[in-house]
Amino acid sequence: MAQPRSRHVCQACGAVYGKWAGRCEACGAWNTIVEEATRETVPLGGKRRARDSGTGRKFAFTDLDDTPVEVPRRITGIAEFDRVTGGGLVSGSALLIGGDPGIGKSTLLLQVVGALAQGKAGTAPRCAYISGEEAVDQMRLRAARLNLTSAAIQLAAATSIRDILATLDTAPGADGAPEVVVIDTIQTMYVDSLESAPGTVAQVRASAQELIRLAKRRGFTVLLVGHVTKEGLIAGPMVLEHMVDTVLYFEGERGHQFRILRAVKNRFGPTDEIGVFEMTDGGLIEVPNPSALFLSEYRDDVIGAAVFAGMEGTRPVLVEIQALIAPSSFATPRRAVVGWDAGRLAMVLAVLEARCGLALAGRDVYLNVAGGLRITEPAADLAVAAALASSLTDLPMPPKTVVFGEIGLSGEVRPVGQRDSRLKEAAKLGFTQALAPPRVDTASAGRRPAIKVRELRRLADLLALFDGTRGARRRRERHQNQAAPQ
């Protein structure tokens, strides 16, 4: 039976269909199924192989008690990048960096390879930067802006995977063999044995597979830059994230100068680590103490604001959470959230209304995490509730106070981990009091906390700090002052 000359492939998940459909049954995405021509591919090595590409030779097993080989790392010298990658770049590994357009992915990687190339004499690895979107002169202009013109970086503009493999396929240690390679971006690369357009599922998967296979065989580190979709996910098939060793997301708001490098997968280090950078005219600058940067505009007398002591990987981070509750003129009040989970906010509002008696059903609620940071930790529940209570009662939080704790559906405040690290970071920044759940770990029960801790067992204990009568009096005085003639 003759093979069909075309197939329909979902560009979101890679599912294959015999005919076009408006909705992908595998991932549920709409209008992502595209027709692609089928063609028996030829390996980029040269001759066509048999259907079974295996050699038929037996392979040997090893035991668990064998001494593991220590994985060598290359320290880039950019401390925030090394922290996220787990201590530096691993030889023979593949990293995927995704982020919104214009967020600074190319700038970050050019600074990384520039720092590597400018390392100590005799130990600096040979670095290559291959761009499929920019010309060589454009890359030189960016390097001049970043003061990297003296860095020994090999530049090239290419999109053909066959040409790139022929250039990079050099024996390790040979003269001119690169040790760190940047591909910017993987969506612009194409394999000439496929008839589909660059950026499609088949092209992205095949291009990444060939580059990763060569990196493993030759022992160099490859850093792949990936586009993201409007949902914030890396464009292309999900198998792309499974193929690489490390997946990094470069995040940030356009209106802020802060940039967050977050690890969501790392085979050679911890996940959920973050690195904080500040975007300037001269490139990205490391932020060794992000808490001080996120709280640079915070004041104690602000209504509807609370300081959350959170954890990002192994690093404690203090960030300001802002809330605004306003009367709604619509039948369905609005819930707007920036930097937090909207479903989690709905849960906290339901607990405040059902367990604490707050009237929030007919009010608009706006929540914002200052600084452009996105929080996923459940320990932010109590800080969000504190900001909402402050906005509703028109009273500020107690001065020099941080908040953290998880809220249960029955209104209880549940303990969270790494309590001592949160308190130490708060004390270092001048905070004197913390609102936190009771301690449950007996190992550190005898230690004296870094700051005064007020333990809350129920959510009602938090609301007792806000006197509604005093807040109503403040609102009347403010309205009278605004209505008085000038």
Mean pLDDT across 461-468: 82
CATH level 3 topology of 292-481: Ribosomal Protein S5; domain 2 (3.30.230)
* Tokens (6 digits) for 217: 């065989």
Q: How far apart are CA 193 and CA 39, in angstroms?
A: 8
Residue 241 φ/ψ, nearest 5 degrees: -70, -25
Q: How far is CA 204 from CA 215, 239, 379, in A?
A: 16, 10, 38
Write down the pLDDT at residue 473. 55
pLDDT tens profile 320-363? 999 999 998 888 899 999 999 999 999 999 999 999 988 888 89
Find residue 401's DSSP bridge partners: 433
Q: How far apart are CA 240 and CA 250, in angstroms?
A: 17
pTM for this prediction: 0.78
- Span 73-288: which CATH code? 3.40.50.300
pLDDT tens profile 376-410? 899 999 999 999 999 999 899 999 999 999 999 99
Would the CA dihedral through 360, 366, 370, 373 be positive or negative? positive
Helix (H) or strand (E) holding 131: strand 127-131
pLDDT tens profile 405-454? 999 999 999 999 999 999 999 999 999 999 999 987 655 555 677 789 99
pLDDT band, very low/low/confident/very high, at 195 (cuts 50, 70, 90): confident
* Half-sphere exposure for 259 (CA within 13 Å, toward CB): 23
Q: How far apart are CA 236 and CA 88, in angstroms?
A: 27
Task: Indicate the domain borders of the chain.
Answer: 6-37, 73-288, 292-481
Q: How far apart are CA 266 and CA 303, in angstroms?
A: 40
* Half-sphere exposure for 146 (CA within 13 Å, toward CB): 24
Instruction: Give the chain's radius of gyration (CA, Å).
Output: 27
Single-letter amino acid code for the residue at 257: Q
pLDDT tens profile 109-164? 999 999 999 875 457 889 999 999 999 999 999 999 999 988 999 999 999 999 99
Residue with tokens 């080989």: 69
Quickly count: other Cβ atoms within 10 Å of residue 351's Cβ.
Answer: 20
Q: How far apart are CA 366 and CA 377, in angstroms?
A: 19
Average pLDDT of the residues of the chain: 85
* Tokens (6 digits) for 129: 């930067």
The one-character DSSP state at 121 is: T
* Tokens (6 digits) for 291: 């808490």
Q: How far apart are CA 112 and CA 284, in angstroms?
A: 10
Helix (H) or strand (E) holding 29: none
Find residue 290's DSSP bridge partners: none
